[in-house]
Amino acid sequence: MSFKIASSPHQRLQRSTAQIMRLVMLACVPGIIVQAALLGYGVLIQLVLAIATALVSEAIIMLLRKKAVWPRLRDNSAMLTAVLLAIAIPPYAPWWLVIIGTAFAIIIVKQLYGGLGNNLFNPAMAAYVLLLISFPVQMTQWLPPASLQTFALTPIDAVCAVFSQFSCSGYSLQQLQSTVDGITMATPLDTLRTDLSRGITLSESMQRPVFYAFAGSGWLWVNLAYLIGGLVLIQQKVISWRIPAAVIISLAIFSGIGSLAAPDTLASPLFHLFSGGTMLAAFFIATDPVSASTTNNGRLWYGVLIGLLVYLIRTYGGYPDAYAFAVLIANMAVPLIDYYTRPRTYGHQQPRPKND
């Protein structure tokens, strides 16, 4: 057994930016497969459109900036942004929606601030908020999960729906949104919010077919799939455990307190954790290395802030799934968080009190 003396850095496991981005995309695969199987094949079409738009947008900006194109495309950062946006929007959103959002994410949010490593906000979430505010109808047209669909859609139907808003059989998107019992579909989070605003109790609302077990038909399995992918990223040391742990635990605590205080009007922690994009946001979006906090303690506070904001916006705000807004607000707080949580410089001596 030999003792090796070497100069810093002493980090043995070194990965390039391209490798990290590739691993994150691979970790998304289980969630994408489950999402396509249960919520619609349209997500695969959105992925193709988003990735193509991101690569073209990145290449055009690099040419305008008179920089090498291929090295920027090879770092996979633009592709990852496209993937995260594509899986966050409704699978059958019109084709132009994902193109506008992806181009905005790459050109405005990323490149306008200097490219990779300089963006203040998470590009995918900034684009998501732009689309949600500008096109609220298209961004809320979620179809029922496969088990509740009146008309089963094939992959060919998905292509027709994305590009024409009609299936190949001639059914409109509004007709496809109707469940087998004739009720127009909304996400579990939106359904619960609407029911509570009408005076329906939580227990009565949870009897709807859209609520499978405690989280929502389809959404429970999608969140579990992204949870598995996120745990793989932690095991591979691609992301730190602090941010996702802080997001999940804080959301569970705040929703638990609310549920105990008002059990008939506020949902349980399990519902909040496994509905909507909770696991996707906690492991794949909040952990963005550029726009997230960089100190160990700061990552914990950053995650807690996101968890708190998600609960407050979901409960009292105007948007059912609040992760995009929560992440962007937390991005604005990152400089302050990092300033007050920066570690002490090695060898730094605490100043003595003035009365000594």
What is the share, in percent, of the chain residues with pLDDT greater than 90?
54
Which residue, 121, 107, 99, is CA-closest to 78? 107
87-144 pLDDT, tens digit per residue, is: 999 999 999 999 999 999 999 999 998 888 888 999 999 999 999 999 998 898 888 7
Tell me what pLDDT residue 182 has.
46
Q: State residue 207's pLDDT score.
A: 74
SS3 content of the chain, % helix, strand, coil (to 5): 60, 0, 35
What is 250-309 written as a DSSP string?
A: HHHHHHHHHHHH-TTTS--HHHHHSSTTHHHIIIIITT-TTTS--SHHHHHHHHHHHHHH
Q: Is the pLDDT of residue 287 over 70?
A: yes
Q: What does the pLDDT read at residue 352?
A: 59
Min mean pLDDT across 175-189, 250-264, 269-283 is at 175-189
Q: How many of the other CB atoms lie within 10 Å of CB of 112?
A: 12
Most confident residue range from 121-125, 143-147, 155-159? 121-125
CA distances from 42 to 86, 104, 123, 129, 322 (A): 10, 21, 22, 20, 23
Bridge partner list, 178: 184
φ, ψ for residue 144, nearest 5 deg: -60, 155
d(CA 121, CA 143): 30
Q: What angle do CA 53, 35, 303 make, to 5 degrees?
A: 80
Nearest to 280 by CA among 321, 313, 318: 321
Question: With pLDDT > 70 as the criterion, what percentage of the chain qualifies?
Answer: 88
The answer to whether 29 and 44 are in contact (CB under 8 A) is no
**Within 13 A of 237's CA, how many CA atoms are on the CB side?**
5
pLDDT tens for residues 54-79?
A: 999 999 999 998 998 888 898 999 99
Output 49 or 267, whichever has higher pLDDT: 49
* Structure confidence by residue, pLDDT tens digits, 180-217: 544 555 677 777 777 777 778 777 777 777 776 666 77
Q: Is the peptide bond before 9 cis (omega within 30 degrees of 0)?
A: yes
Determine how many CB atoms are found less than 10 A away from the CB of residue 160.
Answer: 18
Distance CA 124, CA 101 (A): 8
> Per the structure block, which two tokens stand in for 341?
């949580």
Residues 157-171 have a mean pLDDT of 87
237-254 pLDDT, tens digit per residue, is 999 999 999 999 999 999
Q: Give the CA-trace dihedral at 225, 139, 96, 328, to 10 degrees.
A: -70
* Domain ranges for the chain: 18-185, 187-209+239-337
pLDDT in tens, 1-41: 565 665 555 555 577 888 999 999 999 999 999 999 988 89
